[in-house]
Structure 1
Amino acid sequence: MTSDHPAVEKLEKAGAHPMEVAAFRRRLAQLSDPDAGKVPGDELSPVAPLPRLVDLPEPDAEATRAVLDRLAVVKLNGGLGTSMGLDGPKSTLEIKPGQSFLDVIARQTLALRASTGARLPLLLMDSPTTRPPSLERLAAHEGLADQGLPLDFLQGIEPKLDAGSWEPVEWPDNPELEWCPPGHGDIYTALAASGIAAALLEAGVRWCFVSNADNLGARPDPRIAAWLAEQEIPFLLEVVRGTESDRKGGHLAMRDGKLVLRESAQVPDGDPSFGDLTRWHYFNTNNIWFDLQAITALQEADPAAPELPLIVNRKTVDPTDKGSTTVVQLETAMGAAVSSIDGAGALEVPRTRFAPVKTTDDLLVARSDLWELREDGSMVPHFDEQPPVVSLDKAHFGMLRDFEARFPAGAPSLIDAERLEVRGDVTFTGPTTVRGSVVVEGPAEVSGTLE
């Protein structure tokens, strides 16, 4: 596909930055490959044991301040909680009484600034929809915006393509649905196109720590920051040891002597290798660290850099109408830069740094006594590696409104639980403690001790 593809013209007419256009052109060119984005398991080999966070030394106070003073914290905040029935940013969802993800992030940032004396700017990568409510939430935290930089920047957009013709789809009923974000791999382009990357470098910031806004465990760790600076590692992906729960997540592997991140959408049809935990030991947390100077140098040589594998996502143009036109969205994953940046590496971290809230099952764990929110905003886990397994009946607990109606007394105590499975319509009418492995069958109303 050439640069005069109608989708490129549509993007240019919308006022996209030249770097955004260059990145989109690359994705279009990748789409021309009949096996676009596919990574067969027989081309990969397992990863040798990686360095571990637990083995990194703790920097002293002076070194901590110095390294955090040159670090920016970036949170991916473009997601809406539609899968849980929300119509706003998931990051504004309450995870502890009166405290949303964004409140916790703000408290963590302010506490680290106060304890270390570092600037530690905080930035959200927002969408136009998440921006207003998110900034309003952050405005409640005095001093947070005193960083000489904006608190956010916008992710890019691209035209959705008709799955049959690969032409830009038209949807007159709602033209906004003709557009989509290009995946979180867009962060490198969005930082540059927005001018934020240049502003950070001008302010003396060299490193970025990026994570999902809904990951309770993702805090900037001075040990990692100091190690990156000392070893001059341009890009780092945090990974965890794989478990059964990771079978749908991206795993790390080796290909042609380089690390590669393979997402489930990149597995060819009929390839059974993806869920093989005996081969793939490390799984992606979506916590990454990178050197802004190194990324900027790559982009000066190639405006579409870093080169990322294509992920072809098939959907309908109207997500609420399964009968609407089938489209393809051309996406990339930010962690995939591990294979395209010379000197990139990976670090094994405890699972407590990987605690995303994707479902109401996860939300119940977050709201329970398994996680303690402390004054400095730190979310302290009261479990070792893995929290208890929670499985709630999706028909009755999948949407937030239904979920909250069935826990009028708040989340049960899960600190002594191994597993909680709820089948059917169950209401936890009063304070409840779960011990061991428990299955609750509905319809029922329960409280007290379940064991």
Structure 2
Amino acid sequence: MATDSEKLSKLQSAVAGLSQISENEKSGFINLVSRYLSGEEEQIEWSKIQTPTDEVVVPYDTLAPIPEDLTETKKLLDKLVVLKLNGGLGTTMGCTGPKSVIEVRNGFTFLDLIVVQIESLNKKYGCNVPLLLMNSFNTHDDTAKIVEKYSNSSIDIHTFNQSQYPRIVVEDFMPFPCKGQPGKDGWYPPGHGDVFSSLMNSGKLDALLSKGKEYVFVANSDNLGAIVDLKILNHLINNQNEYCMEVTPKTLADVKGGTLISYEGRIQLLEIAQVPDQHVNEFKSIEKFKIFNTNNLWLNLKAVKRLVEADALKMEIIPNPKEVEGVMVLQLETAAGAAIRFFDHAIGINVPRSRFLPVKATSDLLLVQSDLYTLVDGFVIRNKERTNPANPSIELGPEFKKVGNFLTRFKSIPSIVELDSLKVSGDVWFGSSIVLKGNVSITAKPGTKLEIPDGAVIENKVINGPEDI
């Protein structure tokens, strides 16, 4: 059996011969693997975990109001860059290409909305907030084409790629591309923890600093709630916080989300994978860990440069085993939220739930396309008629999983302002102008097609056939 150091040197010489990636990528990859093999992961001592105080996780409603003087606000915004994590494909929703080009509402894609939002900000304050898109090798070519349609836009749009690392074949710990898999399947993007070194390696970081930019607001491109917030930016600049993670109160739907803890005098992210088995239920409880990470992050650019240059960002490694064409492979990833403990004066801000509106599945798409939201200047705004602060819980069967199928099964999206929960399974089709209220469950019997007629109003009902409507 090869020792870890033998495995590493064999891997290193194989990686040296890969022509598809840069020297930076090779050294970043080897660095990650050697950290993984050394087993340096510190175990969290459960008894040392403390709940962060309001100084560490600041309640949003205690933030100072933004300056009323527009020139003061312009000064704030001129220090800002918006960066969207755009490496994901829409494969889970049955789409090819970047997820950010799925149509969300009124014919606008995620990317369209992001561009409109920043345009209206720049126009209102006369500032120049640029947009950066961090792509992966999976989304780069498509995004480059898509971005051309914004060439007449008033905002500067820059794209750069995150690292491309070889998948490791579990059996002999060799790079997959060296084993007859030269195509895309041989590679993987190593998670959004890679954003720091990729910003630096792409030259974007120095370019932004030279233009006087100080903060970058990083968010997932599929989170429609992640819009620029001046109160947060103002707070960070005034308090010289190098890192801020937006967190929001947990509901039962978010029990697996990472949370912020105070640990040995520093703030740090605790993910479910780090929790000892006997404490998992405690981690999932809403009582002890009340908040979770939205992955809306604010970073000081000078601090990012300092820490990347010092090779100080040793985020927890997330091993992600997969099977590709019958071969067991391993990909090692990191998450940007885990970097919080390396920055000075790092904080969390406990933001309203409206800043977390991700679209991970067609059930989320149903929410944002419905009358629960309206669209104003590219911002998705919640309907005031909805009195319940929580969104309805929606479960759609596999027939609705792909966006194409989802769209054909609804003539129009039902009204759900008064809906609490919806469960749909089987071959169900919706007419137009349907209203759903309370708790609704619709199940088509196997082998039968169930059509909900135009204009139907369904309140607190279990429907198993046409006779129940």
Taking structure 2 as the reference length, what is the TM-score of the superposition?
Answer: 0.87
Runs of 4+ in structure 1 over 6 Å off: none
Q: 1:64 aligns with which of 57, 70, 73?
A: 73
- The letter for the 1-side match of 2:303 is A
Change (3 A) 1:29 1:126: same
Cα distance, 1:391 vs structure 2:
1.1
Q: Is the 8 A contact 1:37 1:312 kept in 2?
A: no
Greater Cα offset, 383-392 or 64-73: 383-392
Q: Which runs of 5+ in 1 are unaligned?
A: none
RCO higher in 1 or 2 (8 Å CA, sep ≥ 6)? 1
Overall identity of the aligned pairs, in %: 33
Q: 1:184 aligns with which of 192, 198, 216?
A: 192
Q: Is the 8 A contact 1:265 1:313 kept in 2?
A: no
Q: 1:344 aligns with which of 343, 346, 359?
A: 346
- The letter for the 1-side match of 2:451 is E
- The letter for the 2-side match of 1:390 is I
1:28 aligns with 2:43: no
Alpha-carbon separation, structure 1, partners of 2:11 and 2:304: 27
Which residue number in structure 2 is paired with residue 416 of structure 1?
A: 418
Q: Is the 8 A contact 1:6 1:168 kept in 2?
A: no
Which residue number in structure 1 is paired with residue 49 of structure 2?
A: 44
Which residue number in structure 2 is paired with residue 140 of structure 1?
A: 149
Q: Which runs of 5+ in 2 are unaligned?
A: 460-469
Taking structure 1 as the reference length, what is the TM-score of the superposition?
Answer: 0.91
1:421-440 alignment runs, 5 A limit? 421-440=423-442
Q: Secondary structure at the match of 1:87?
A: coil
Q: Secondary structure at the match of 1:329?
A: strand
Change (3 A) 1:8 1:106: farther
Q: Secondary structure at the match of 1:415?
A: coil
Cα distance, 1:143 vs structure 2:
3.9
Greater Cα offset, 198-207 or 28-37: 28-37
Which residue number in structure 1 is paired with residue 450 of structure 2?
A: 444
Q: 1:85 aligns with which of 94, 113, 116?
A: 94
Q: Secondary structure at the match of 1:414?
A: coil
Which residue number in structure 2 is paired with residue 398 of structure 1?
A: 401
Q: Is the 8 A contact 2:82 2:216 kept in 1?
A: yes
Q: Is the 8 A contact 2:118 2:155 kept in 1?
A: no
Alpha-carbon separation, structure 2, partners of 1:259 and 1:247: 20
Alpha-carbon separation, structure 1, partners of 2:369 and 2:356: 16
Q: Is the 8 A contact 1:160 1:329 kept in 2?
A: yes
- The letter for the 2-side match of 1:213 is S
Which residue number in structure 2 is paired with residue 127 of structure 1?
A: 136
1:312 aligns with 2:319: yes
- The letter for the 2-side match of 1:445 is E
1:35-434 alignment runs, 5 A limit? 36=41, 39=44, 41-42=46-47, 44-49=49-54, 50-56=57-63, 57-60=65-68, 61-141=70-150, 143-144=152-153, 146-147=155-156, 151-169=158-176, 170-173=178-181, 175-269=183-277, 271-272=279-280, 273-300=282-309, 302=310, 304-316=311-323, 318=324, 321=325, 324-374=326-376, 376-382=377-383, 383=386, 385-393=389-397, 395-407=398-410, 409-434=411-436
- The letter for the 1-side match of 2:101 is T
CA deviations on 1:208-250 (whole Å, 9 max, x unpaired) are 0000000000001111111111100001100011111111222
Change (3 A) 1:239 1:134: same
CA deviations on 1:313-333 (whole Å, 9 max, x unpaired) are 1112x2xx4xx2222211110
CA deviations on 1:379-424 (whole Å, 9 max, x unpaired) are 112256421111111x2111222212211x2211111211111122
- The letter for the 1-side match of 2:265 is G
Alpha-carbon separation, structure 2, partners of 1:38 and 1:91: 36
Change (3 A) 1:33 1:254: farther
Cα distance, 1:140 vs structure 2:
2.6
Q: Is the 8 A contact 1:417 1:436 kept in 2?
A: yes
> How many residues of Structure 1 are paired with residues of Structure 2 in the alignment?
439
Change (3 A) 1:266 1:313: farther
Q: Secondary structure at the match of 2:432?
A: strand
RMSD: 2.3
Question: Could you say which structure has the larger radius of gyration?
Answer: 2
Q: Is the 8 A contact 1:19 1:189 kept in 2?
A: no
Change (3 A) 1:18 1:224: farther
Q: Secondary structure at the match of 1:190?
A: helix
Alpha-carbon separation, structure 1, partners of 2:249 and 2:140: 34
- The letter for the 2-side match of 1:354 is F
- The letter for the 1-side match of 2:331 is Q
Greater Cα offset, 197-206 or 31-40: 31-40
Greater Cα offset, 197-206 or 38-47: 38-47
